[in-house]
Structure 1
């Protein structure tokens, strides 16, 4: 049993690390996607083979792909690490690899931008505290210039040639795979990875840089079509619209519009997750579509973002043959995915009005360890929340739709709250923040904003938790985590308090279950406030998972009755105090009085 849990933790940790790396790459590209689209449109319109050939305007294309786009990527990468100052140093450093090579240096920008930000961040941490008053601007400006210069020289002499050689090898490898018609096999990995929320990492972090390098030479690239192809998802949604049941069937038509025309592919992910056999549908559809693209020589001028059929057609090169090849790949992917999904859904013997939410919950249970979360409500002060942010990997697409849905509910409920969306990497840990994210990404969101209230949902576009959030904010209750019912707990609290040996305590822990961390975070904040008033802030206070507790008498756990029972059954040495209401400062008076 322990080995199984350990393996699951390792898999989850690896998946989180991969998502974080992919997010770091895609977050350098996504904020600048407008510039990529501008370059793609200029190329498609004004080059000699474009729709409106214009020799003068066509001169914009090469400088944009050589200088503008890599420098924007580098600036964003440096800024993500060390703010505007990091962005400036990252852009300076990237000039070295740009000038030192003769290919579009996107991979070099993804390396040098964050490296510049990291170097200036470390410099500032070491030096800024020791700068004499009045010399701050002098030191800051010259240090940024000198570090940027040194990194540019290193990029020009060393990193640029290495990246150029590596990029050449990658391009040669991709060209070879395409020439022997093996590129469709990429979709065996791309389609499942998309549904595991790596879609932006794959497309913007890997395929887009390689595709731009190829398109700069050949005028188009098939790599721009591998992940954005809407055909596989469209086939699944069409099958649900015709052969599905319950909520899944009734919601599929609107999902088709959002996915195919709006380009928000995340909307079909829950349909796959509720019936994992449908992974076969999207894989087969993706392989079919890419095979068709490859055989017909399809490709796009630039990356379509979002992956809408409209964006794809806008980025298709001039010529009826190009449009036919692109549309044929999308159509065949849709047909294959639809046929396989039809067979799977027609063989489904489940009865009753099967809901999409039930299927999502079932799949969530299959994908992760069984939840130990008590089926109760966490108390949340409505006055303490002044902002709600939907956070996803890229801060676009499904999170924007989810924010729009909840914003409408909040408005109708008469609540004066801001509801916005952003990328997880852009979250800021600030007071009064409620973060809504998908269960797969909740761990990353929690690490980014440990003091916020977090609510994890299975599907941004169709979650019953939105009504619970609105109701909770109105009645000061949100169904977030594990606070136990406050029934007859005063006696238990007093008894537990009197048996605790506070003289040994150096650390106080609050416990959350899995990724549902809302009440534990709020309880920790409430307790810290009580400690501050008592002038006893020297204690370490943590919000941890049940399996992260240290079994030592110096650790005091404050928990609800049900959670306390579980902890006592698992640990022999740590101390536990049962608290009736984890968000009531008065409940902690006896504990704080006992602490030295």
Structure 2
């Protein structure tokens, strides 16, 4: 039992990190769409093919790693993390000739995490010097990470690339090509696809094509089938947000030949990688069985580019391999996604909630998506006529409380459970999708309407107290008006039937069955009869009112 629990815990951790990698890539998918359009239009302007290749090199080796590192750093430290992450990966970019996408995925989050940890030091700095210290720390970290990536990490990345080349080369020389996808597909998902394709399959394929006029090696990485199968599975069985992205990505990969668009979808769930592996295996098996190949490399690897480089007699065979790999990849990925969807549906069926006094929408940094999500939730609560305090915060800073409702996205669910084990949790896929809050709104409405769930002020009711009055003197009663609204909302939130109002103190008879609230300065100036009385320093306080509603009149007497 412990072994099973440990394995599940490890899998949750793996999913968290792969989801994080995916979220670094998703905002940058537009790069591939832009490059597809550019590469399609450039030939019409008579641009030399070598110049086009240089542009592609710049996009893949410079622009893409910089943006990924920026996004990764920004996710953890929104103010300066992106800049420091970009500076850090620049060292690895300048030190090597290979695309440093993998390095960006490491250095971007590292930069953001280090900046996030530095906040505890900045909080101790004398007031007025915070900005200076923050900028100094960001600059120092950026410089140190740049030097580290240039002198230490770049050679490590080169070594990893060389090892990958030798490993893949072994499969080629042993003539067991279908099994090569066990290595190729994971490398592709980690954005080593261009290294594998142009650094290994293209040189070996050119040698084979010089002898046989065609080579199947040109189809190993260029085959769009495994990726199309994954995208089609997400289109039919993914979440609403992922379906929209998958629809656009299918066109980009099939027609534009930009395979990178499906990598983030695989990273969303590591098990889905089985689809491309078996799909690629099946496609290459068909290519070998039918003896087909391409005359030259297909770059980019679109279906159109593949067919243009296919001998006329082999077109049907190449299409057969692509179709088989697509179908197999789709079938396996669909089974895995449907199982995941069923699990998510089960998780979404929440148990009946206990008392909720506050709602926190929590993300990594507690500023970006959670802020927008909190705004959407407030609007949904208002439309449902529910009044709950809603705030947004970093999940790492949320304080555990049984009466707290924590809302997180799925990739942070495990961390949320560890950070706030006694709080109540609601997990969704996307903070920005208003429809995902619907089950939560329904549950909160049910709790409000269920008398068994309603809170009662036992000690107050036992003494016949049903009215709470804010006292004021003269014509200044603005704070009392606001306080009345605050307390009314809190009473409705806890399903309490109370009359809350304000009243002038001068010349008014006080009701001994009501509870009176007044500010401290008024209590010192005016003699108050022997009535249930709560004196507060600030009329807009909430803690005192919450304690009054939950603990009753006994608490009021203690404070008199």
Give TM-score scaled by structure 1 length.
0.48
2: CA distance, partners of 1:455 / 1:257? 25
- Contact 2:68–2:105 under 8 Å retained in 1: yes
Matched, 1:230 2:235: no
1:186-335 superposed matches below 5 A: 207-215=189-197, 217=199, 222-223=220-221, 228-231=226-229, 285=279, 287-292=281-286, 301=299, 313=303, 319-320=309-310, 327-333=319-325
Matched, 1:168 2:162: yes
Shift of 1:158: 1.7
1:43-122 superposed matches below 5 A: 46=42, 53-54=48-49, 56-122=51-117
Shift of 1:106: 2.1
2: CA distance, partners of 1:432 / 1:45? 55
Task: Find the counterpart in structure 1 of residue 18 from structure 2.
Answer: 22
- Contact 1:86–1:120 under 8 Å retained in 2: yes
Structure 1 residues 227-236 or 155-164, which shifts more?
A: 227-236
- Contact 2:73–2:112 under 8 Å retained in 1: yes
Matched, 1:454 2:444: no
Shift of 1:146: 2.8
Query: Which segments of 5 or more consecutive residues in structure 1 lack a partner in the other structure?
Result: 191-201, 241-253, 270-275, 304-311, 345-358, 390-394, 396-402, 418-424, 461-465, 495-522, 528-583
Shift of 1:287: 3.4
2: CA distance, partners of 1:175 / 1:444? 41
- Contact 2:70–2:108 under 8 Å retained in 1: yes
Shift of 1:592: 10
Matched, 1:147 2:141: yes
2: CA distance, partners of 1:281 / 1:445? 30
Task: Find the counterpart in structure 1 of residue 441 from structure 2.
Answer: 473
- Contact 2:362–2:408 under 8 Å retained in 1: yes
Shift of 1:331: 1.4
1: CA distance, partners of 2:196 / 2:32? 14
Equivalent residues, number: 404
2: CA distance, partners of 1:78 / 1:189? 29
Shift of 1:14: 0.8
Distance 1:92 1:176, change over 3 A: same
2: CA distance, partners of 1:449 / 1:488? 23
Shift of 1:144: 2.3
Shift of 1:72: 1.3
2: CA distance, partners of 1:280 / 1:142? 46
1: CA distance, partners of 2:113 / 2:37? 34
Flag the structure with larger Rg.
2
Shift of 1:441: 7.5
2: CA distance, partners of 1:170 / 1:189? 8
- Contact 1:388–1:434 under 8 Å retained in 2: yes
Q: CA RMSD in A?
A: 6.5
Shift of 1:167: 1.9
2: CA distance, partners of 1:78 / 1:387? 21
Cα deviation code 1:496-536 (max 9, x no counterpart): xxxxxxxxxxxxxxxxxxxxxxxxxxx9xx89xxxxxxxxx
- Contact 2:219–2:293 under 8 Å retained in 1: no
Structure 1 residues 9-18 or 174-183, which shifts more?
A: 174-183
Distance 1:55 1:426, change over 3 A: farther
Task: Find the counterpart in structure 2 of residue 578 from structure 1.
Answer: none
Task: Find the counterpart in structure 1 of residue 539 from structure 2.
Answer: none
Q: Secondary structure at the match of 1:477?
A: helix
Q: Secondary structure at the match of 1:230?
A: helix
Give TM-score scaled by structure 2 length.
0.51
Distance 1:55 1:454, change over 3 A: same
Task: Find the counterpart in structure 1 of residue 551 from structure 2.
Answer: 589
